[in-house]
Amino acid sequence: MDSEKQRAFTWIYATGAFVLVLVTVFAVAFGVQEHNDRVLSEELTETASELQDTGARITSDPRRGHEEHGRLRPHLLGDSASLGYLRSTLAENH
């Protein structure tokens, strides 16, 4: 009878230890994930702020007077852009 009780207690202790390890692993994994999410959120907020600053600089650029229909005139952009501008202009007119 003692060996059966000892075997039962061994299984109980082993199961309890397994559950404890499992809970610890999940707690650490969730903690690491929470940290990574927080870091990513901070990076996204910083990037959004930088993009808003860049957008503000672009809109306050004095060269913006050279726009036509929301695009820069082709001679300001170069040859490959000129071709794209002409194609889009022709597509809009037809």
State pLDDT tens for residues 47-59: 999 999 888 888 8
Same domain, 9 and 49: yes
- From CA 50, how far away is CA 61, in angstroms rounded? 16
Which has the closest alpha carbon to 89: 66, 78, 65, 73? 73
Mean pLDDT of 4-27: 95
Query: Which residues constitute the domain of residue 15?
Result: 1-60
Same domain, 46 and 17: yes
Same domain, 46 and 16: yes
Same domain, 74 and 38: no
- Give pLDDT, residue 21: 98
With a CB cutoff of 8 Å and minimum separation 6, the contacts of 77 are 85
- Give pLDDT, residue 39: 95
Question: Taking 70 as the threshold, does the pLDDT of residue 71 lie above it?
Answer: no
- From CA 73, how far away is CA 86, in angstroms rounded? 10
Same domain, 52 and 72: no
Same domain, 52 and 70: no
Same domain, 32 and 46: yes
Same domain, 53 and 71: no
**Average pLDDT score, the chain:** 80
- pTM for the full predicted model: 0.48
- Give pLDDT, residue 80: 56
Half-sphere exposure of 32 (CA within 13 A, CB side): 6
Same domain, 76 and 43: no
Domains contained in the chain, number: 2
Question: Taking 70 as the threshold, does the pLDDT of residue 94 lie above it?
Answer: no
